[in-house]
Chain A
Amino acid sequence: MGAMLQAQMQGRHKRDVAGDRRHRARVVTICLSLGLMSVFLLSLGWGAAGQTHVIEALLASIGIGQAELRDTVILFDIRMPRTLLAAAVGAALAVSGAILQGLFRNPLADPGLIGVSAGAGFGAVAAIVLGGLLPLWLQGLVGFYLVPLAAFAGGWVSTILLYLVATRNGRTSVATMLLAGIALGALSGAVTGVIVFSADDDQLRDLTFWGMGSVAGATWPKVWTAGPLIILSLVAAPFLARSLNALALGEASARHLGIPVQRMKNVAILTVACSVGASVAVTGGIGFVGIVVPHLLRLVQGPDHRGLLINAGLLGAVMLLLADGVSRIVIAPAELPIGIVTALIGGPFFLWILLKNRKLVDV
């Protein structure tokens, strides 16, 4: 496929200047869009309840023919929200990863580094274990949104805290933020541990599965709560592309190229906190998508963020949909949490990146 792509690109763009990889990015965008559409449809037609009747249900929804209630529910209330959520979260994680790598000028940066995941995890654990202590009326009000809400709040609070710690005289030190992120992660891990200590048997089980991440619990309300935040940040992301490109030269050079660096950092971190916070809140921690997807794309189309951010969204969605497919079928009717699938694939891949690019990583 790589060779085919290459041939197609060379054939169609004979007048391209050497060193210009924008057309490659465009070809990749087209391929990924087609790929996303097919994986999306596959994901709708593919499940434990069998492959049949999906088309009937689809047709019935627009008034052609009739479908059984069962098929309609499976398509529209189970597979559709799940597929949409997996695609949105995959896109959010991959784009956030690409933004953070550009911002931190490090190809191995990950949403986990800016404290979003740790904070969200802390919020979720606190909600699972201590949620029962809330007044009953409040429990009734937030219902089973308590955990996602707490996770989202936790992600935000920790990101903002970290940002404040790392910002002095209006300038944010990226190195301080990285190191403080590690410290905050350890701290929130420890406090989480203390809370876990007071958890009972069934709460503990909730905690383990929350930590592993899954899109199995996708429902429309989840799509409606997390979706807008994720879409908002996905729409905002491409506007950061030029700034991120300039930032590759370092902060001073980016400023001399006319980038309001501090404001751009604020927007970037806000965007990431929004989309990762919302994602982690509804699906739990899903690792490696944020590192692997941008890296793969950089190998093919180069690091220009104008094409990279868009394609990262597409490839992230494709990858998470495929991972979700695996998580649905390997031990059906039980499910492997998707976080395990991405970690199993992403872990070795991450190591491969490390070994292949020691030069990039050794700063």
Chain B
Amino acid sequence: MALTAENLSVRLGRTRILRDIELSAKAGEITVVVGPNGSGKTTLLRALTGDVPYEGRVALNGVNTRGLSAADLAQLRAVLPQASALSFPFTVLEVVRLGLTTGQAVAGFDTSDRLPLAALRRVGLGGFEGRMFENLSGGEQQRVQLARVLVQIWDPVLKGTPRWLFLDEPVSALDIGHQLLVMEIAKDFARAGGGVLAVLHDLNLTSMIADQVILMHHGQVLGRGAAEDVLRNDTLSTAYGCDLKINTAPSSTKPWLLPQSAALPVLAVAE
């Protein structure tokens, strides 16, 4: 069971933003897409979720997503967008409850408030259900949205079919503690058999949690595989157009890096 893309291309007018992407992400794993600004990583996620018109084929668990209705897809996957403004003043509970709009959150229907409340506690916002969404901080709003997305596919595997979590920069507005919390949630979801595809900015965070890393550059895949195979001095320096040096984090073999610049003195480098 996997998420696959074949010959995936996206055009904007006459320019191609994505060119012939081939990828495969396994259920039970966390796949992270990284790359510099404008490399096409968010476009890739949006093509995979059908939010931009694309050429090529995207399949979820072996089924072409073009052949699935919105309701079928909603049962298979949930998507956390980068930022979402609400057009009306909903309470936190009402927002999280939207995850139950269609589809089946768990085996056997449960449309009570049990799941939304559990999801809120899971993202560290237990007791926030009565607050107005618009009055929360950016980071809190992001976690409320994550709770909503979690509710939608609460069981990572439903009737033997793995379900997918698409996360577009899920930690961009979060402090370090909550970054780790969200990563833990993603990891739990994958460990329970679900698939996770996330777009991240932070290379060290990526290195820490990714089972597969996809490095994007100029709308193409520059490298994909395990973190230690993709996050290398040469590939990263090419992709980001600057001098980057890989180190190893203490008590781990995972790559760990610190930006280096000819113009700026490096503050602390663990050689």
Contact = CB atoms under 8 A, between A and B. Distances in A.
In-complex A–B contact (CB below 8 Å): yes
A133 interface: no
A19 B71 contact: no
Interface in B114-159: 117, 129-131, 152
Contact of A259 (B78, B101, B117, B131): B101
A265 to B, nearest CB: 13
A107 to B, nearest CB: 7
Given A17-B129, A20-B93, A21-B94, A303 B88 contact: yes
Contact of A257 (B88, B89, B152): B152
> A245, A247, A248, A260: which has the most chain B beta carbons within 10 Å?
A248
A102 to B, nearest CB: 8
Nearest to B113: A17
Contact of B88 (A169, A248, A255, A258): A248
B98 A256 contact: no
B129 A248 contact: no
Given A19-B92, A19-B129, A250-B81, A257 B99 contact: yes
- Looking at chain A's contact residues, the main secondary structure is loop
A107 B134 CA distance: 15
Contacts of A302: 89-91, 94
Contacts of B95: 249
Contacts of B247: none
B79 interface: yes
Nearest to B75: A258
B83 to A, nearest CB: 10
A257 B96 CA distance: 12
A128 to B, nearest CB: 39
Interface string A1-40: 0000000000000000111110000000000000000000
A245 B88 CA distance: 9
Contacts of A73: none
B51 A252 contact: yes
Contact of A260 (B70, B75, B86, B93): B70
B88 A107 contact: yes
A18 B93 contact: yes
Contacts of B69: 260
A303 B133 CA distance: 12
Contacts of A298: 88-89
Nearest to B87: A105
Interface string A279-314: 000000000000000000010001110000000000
Contact of B90 (A242, A257, A259, A303): A303
A271 B94 CA distance: 26
A259 B71 CA distance: 6
A248 B130 contact: no
Contacts of A303: 88-90
Contacts of B117: 17
A109 to B, nearest CB: 10
B182 interface: no
Contacts of B130: 17-19
Nearest to A20: B93
B84 interface: yes
Given A19-B129, A252-B79, A253-B79, A258 B91 contact: no
Given A169-B53, A258-B71, A258-B73, A248 B86 contact: yes
A295 B201 CA distance: 40
B49 A256 contact: yes
Given A248-B88, A257-B102, A19 B93 contact: yes
Contacts of B53: 169
Central interface residue in A105, A247, A258, by most chain B CB within 10 Å: A258
A261 B99 CA distance: 16
Given A107-B88, A302-B89, A303-B89, A242 B101 contact: yes
Contacts of B98: 245-246, 248-249, 257
A259 B102 contact: yes
A261 B92 CA distance: 23
A106 interface: yes
Contacts of B77: 256
Nearest to A261: B70
B97 to A, nearest CB: 9
A259 B70 contact: yes
Interface in B25-81: 49-51, 53, 69-71, 73-75, 77-79, 81
Which residue of A18, A21, A169, A250 has the most chain B CB atoms within 10 A of its CB atom?
A18
Interface of B: 49-51, 53, 69-71, 73-75, 77-79, 81, 84-95, 98-99, 101-103, 113, 117, 129-131, 152
7 contacts: A20-B113, A169-B53, A242-B102, A248-B90, A252-B49, A257-B74, A258-B103
Identify the 5 closest CB pairs spanning chains A and B, nearest first. Answer: A18-B130, A258-B74, A258-B102, A19-B93, A303-B88
Given A17-B130, A257-B101, 15 more contacts: A17-B129, A18-B129, A18-B130, A20-B94, A246-B101, A248-B90, A252-B49, A252-B81, A257-B152, A258-B73, A258-B101, A258-B102, A259-B70, A260-B70, A360-B89
